[in-house]
């Protein structure tokens, strides 16, 4: 019997519940790392994405400024940002509300404004701008309680700077390309920076050294030795200009006899801590103490600001406040936390009841705090294993400087002792730390002790050694990166946030080179600067450029209209442009015959302009790649062999030194430029131990770098 299967009724499909996906608030910042940190603080109701910097800018292929229509900028979407913009539009369309949380400065405000245009946000109705000075949970959450509208004064200040720089750069550069050489450029801040380097070099070249002598001595008291220096004669401070004066002093001395202590001044001296860092002082100190280039400093600071993953409960957190600031102001909360830390860590006597207030730099913007750690409780050592070497070193510097700024003064016991014999007076100065004060947290700022033995008026001391030594006054030093940043800031030119790019530009254009970490103008740099200075004097004028910066600050404060600021600059500048087009003669930088043949292939050698100035190269390049450096005679005969000429040479690292033209037969070498006086006196300094590894004069005149 066949079996039968009863058919079962089909199951009805289950009804889907009517659910709506809850819309999230969208937050847009500049960088992915910043987005990651902030999203963790805001929770599940927020989605944080990055614009990856600017999304709109002036076009690279044209001026992009409508001069006839109130200097209207012609913004376009930045090439390569299409997918980013598309993604932002999609996210914004699906969002409950859009917040723009770019950096709290002019540039950040402009990014927010450009985003609002791209995303069709209502600038008048919406309060979607959020700013915070530090990326910590409390600071971020508090900022989102107080959104505001976009500050158009800040935007206009940024637009004015961008338009001004475009007008200058895109107007002068084509003339330089046409009249001098392709690839050249000029700009408001870069021309001033280059001018400072050239002016300093001119001072150095024009400097005439003056002779002077020192008489350093060593005295003994009860087997204790201490150093002193000649001070004067018969109660008056006396200069020692030459050897004649030295002999006059020595004739008055009985070097084996007793010397009397005639005056002892014991005082207490206080050294106050410096204020916490601004952008500029951070750049300068990182350069001098950590040997960081300006760009390296700003990159490390950006990483510390945007957030470092510390693991554990803290996760990713911003370690310092915003790193682009002119202010030394500190919030009351930060002061309170620092005071608690200092009392607990070092003792109440180290905590300043009223930390020293510093005077703000003229024209400084006080919108943000100084650069400080977001929490002093995160000591450098406690998070060292979470940081790279550069991050750790910079964070340690910022942390120490801030904590020190909230501490008491260092106290030193000082002693000034006058020692005499026959009217010849010597001075000895000593100091000893009595109370460490702020240097407890900032050891790098501590003064070294220079202890003197117990000395009283009437004591006799013995002369152990007297060393007359001839010296010559030195020219002003070339600018290091730190010194150039300081000079720009002191002159009110540019802003600290732009200094890294400015310094990088004048090097990239080959207008300056680094020699022993100091800037030296190249022949090309001098040529360009002279040309720009002749036809566009305002662009190279420090006071004029500083005045423009003041105008831009006034735009930010709402005190001036940005179009009027540009118009006041551009109308006279436009006349200079027309004059330059007509009157500037074409400067031909053509290769010249060197006057001798290539020692490799026999073809004529040429004099070419290269990165570091002129050099010799074979005319058959690239078939023959023989090159030679050009050695310059300085018009002096070698003091060692008497027949060679002293020539200027360069090491492989680009450092200048002076040597005999007969090398290797004569090995005379000097790091300092010899003069007739130094050679006659036999006092030209030879190589110093610190630079023995700098390739000295033993390098050949051939170069391995092929240039054309």
Instruction: Tokens for 400, please give them.
Output: 């120490």
Residue pair 318/391 in contact (Cβ under 8 Å)? The answer is: no
b/e sequence 421-455, b meaning 16+ C-beta within 10 Å: beebbbebebbebebbbbbbbbeebeeeeeebbeb
Q: What are phi and psi of 210, to 5 degrees?
A: -110, 140
Which positions ≥6 away from 171 have C-beta within 8 Å?
63, 573, 577
Q: What are phi and psi of 192, to 5 degrees?
A: -70, -45
Residue pair 230/466 in contact (Cβ under 8 Å)? The answer is: no
Q: Which of 41, 322, 616, 658 is catalytic?
A: 322
Instruction: Tokens for 180, please give them.
Output: 């001098």
Cα gap 548→572, rounded to integer Å:
14
Instruction: Tokens for 289, please give them.
Output: 């103490």
DSSP string, 23-61: PPEEEEES-HHHHHHHHHHH-TTEEEEE--S-SEE--SS
Q: What is the bridge-based pairing of β-strands 224-233 and 627-629?
A: unpaired
User: What does the DSSP 8-state code read for residue 376?
Assistant: T
Residue pair 396/332 in contact (Cβ under 8 Å)? The answer is: no
How far is it between the farthest Cα atoms of the chain? 146
> Can you say how many angstroms the Cα of residue 99 is from the centroid of all Cα atoms in its chain?
34
Cα gap 471→460, rounded to integer Å:
31
The vertex-373 CA angle with 371 and 378, nearest 5°, equals: 170
Query: CA separation (Å) from 579 to 69, 161, 175, 183, 575?
Result: 23, 25, 11, 22, 6
Instruction: Tokens for 302, please give them.
Output: 């950006």
41 is catalytic: no
E strand or H helix at 423, and its extent? Answer: none
Q: Which residue has the tokens 């735009």?
A: 555
Q: Does the CA dihedral 188-191-194-198 come out positive or negative?
A: negative
What is the rounded (10 degree) CA torsion for 200, 206, 207, 208?
A: 180
Residue pair 211/471 in contact (Cβ under 8 Å)? The answer is: yes
User: What does the DSSP 8-state code read for residue 671?
Assistant: S
What residues does 470 pair with on adjacent strands? 213
Cα gap 662→644, rounded to integer Å:
6
Residues recognised as catalytic: 322
């Amino acid at each position: 019997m066949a079996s039968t299967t009863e058919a079962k009724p089909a199951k009805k499909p289950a009804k889907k519940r009517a659910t709506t996906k809850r819309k999230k608030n969208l937050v847009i910042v500049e960088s992915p790392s910043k987005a990651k940190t902030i999203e963790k603080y805001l929770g599940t109701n927020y989605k944080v994405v990055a614009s990856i910097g600017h999304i709109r800018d002036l076009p690279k292929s044209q001026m992009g400024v409508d001069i006839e229509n109130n200097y209207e900028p012609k913004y376009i979407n930045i090439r390569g940002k299409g997918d980013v913009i598309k993604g932002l539009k999609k996210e914004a369309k699906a969002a409950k509300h859009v917040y723009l949380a770019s950096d709290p400065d002019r540039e950040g405000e402009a990014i927010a404004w450009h985003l609002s245009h791209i995303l069709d946000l209502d600038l008048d109705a919406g309060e979607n701008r959020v700013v915070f000075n530090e990326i910590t949970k409390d600071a971020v959450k508090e900022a989102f309680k107080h959104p505001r509208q976009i500050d158009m004064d800040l935007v206009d200040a940024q637009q004015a700077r961008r338009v001004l720089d475009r007008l200058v750069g895109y107007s002068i550069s084509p003339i330089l390309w046409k009249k001098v050489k392709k690839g050249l450029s000029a700009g408001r801040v870069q021309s001033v920076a280059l001018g400072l380097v050239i002016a300093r070099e001119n001072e150095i070249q024009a400097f005439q050294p003056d002779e002077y002598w020192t008489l350093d001595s060593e005295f003994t008291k009860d087997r204790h030795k201490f150093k002193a220096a000649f001070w004067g004669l018969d109660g008056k401070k006396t200069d020692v200009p030459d050897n004649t004066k030295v002999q006059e002093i020595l004739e008055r001395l009985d070097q084996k006899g007793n010397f009397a202590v005639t005056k002892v001044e014991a005082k207490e001296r206080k050294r106050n801590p410096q204020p916490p860092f601004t952008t500029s002082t951070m750049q300068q100190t990182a350069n001098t103490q950590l040997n960081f280039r300006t760009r390296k400093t700003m990159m490390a600071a950006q990483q510390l600001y945007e957030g470092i993953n510390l693991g554990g409960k803290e996760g990713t957190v911003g370690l310092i406040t915003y790193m682009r600031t002119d202010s030394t102001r500190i919030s009351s909360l930060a002061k309170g936390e620092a005071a608690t830390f200092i009392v607990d860590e070092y003792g109440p006597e180290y905590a300043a009841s009223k930390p020293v207030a510093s005077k703000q730099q003229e024209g400084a913007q006080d919108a943000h705090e100084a650069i400080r750690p977001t929490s002093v409780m995160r000591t450098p050592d406690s998070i060292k294993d979470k940081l790279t070497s550069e991050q750790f070193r910079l964070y340690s510097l910022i942390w120490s400087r801030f904590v020190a700024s909230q501490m008491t003064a260092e106290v030193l016991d000082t002693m000034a002792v006058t020692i005499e014999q026959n009217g010849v007076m010597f001075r000895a100065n000593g100091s000893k730390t009595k109370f460490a004060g702020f240097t407890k947290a900032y050891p790098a700022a501590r003064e070294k002790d220079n202890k003197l033995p117990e000395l009283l008026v009437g004591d006799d001391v013995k002369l152990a050694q007297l060393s007359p030594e001839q010296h010559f006054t030195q020219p002003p030093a070339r600018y290091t990166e730190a010194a150039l940043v300081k000079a720009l800031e002191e002159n009110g030119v540019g802003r600290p946030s732009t200094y890294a790019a400015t310094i990088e530009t004048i090097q990239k254009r080959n207008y300056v080179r680094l020699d022993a970490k100091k800037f030296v103008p190249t022949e090309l740099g001098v040529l360009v600067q002279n040309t720009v200075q002749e036809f566009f004097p305002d662009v190279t004028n420090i006071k004029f450029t500083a005045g423009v910066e003041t105008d831009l600050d006034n735009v930010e404060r709402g005190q001036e209209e940005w179009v009027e600021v540009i118009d006041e600059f551009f109308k006279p500048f436009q006349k200079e442009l027309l004059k330059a087009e007509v009157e500037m003669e074409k400067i031909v930088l053509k290769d010249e015959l060197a006057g001798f043949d290539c020692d490799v292939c026999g073809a004529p050698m040429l004099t070419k302009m290269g990165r570091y100035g002129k050099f010799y190269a074979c005319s058959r390049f690239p078939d023959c790649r023989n090159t030679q450096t050009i050695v310059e005679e300085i018009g002096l005969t070698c003091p060692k062999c008497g027949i060679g000429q002293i020539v200027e040479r360069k090491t492989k690292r680009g450092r200048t030194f002076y040597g005999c033209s007969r090398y290797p037969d004569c090995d005379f070498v000097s790091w300092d430029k010899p003069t007739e006086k130094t050679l006659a006196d036999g006092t030209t300094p030879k190589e110093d131990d610190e630079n023995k590894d700098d390739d000295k004069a033993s390098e050949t005149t051939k170069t391995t770098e092929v240039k054309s």
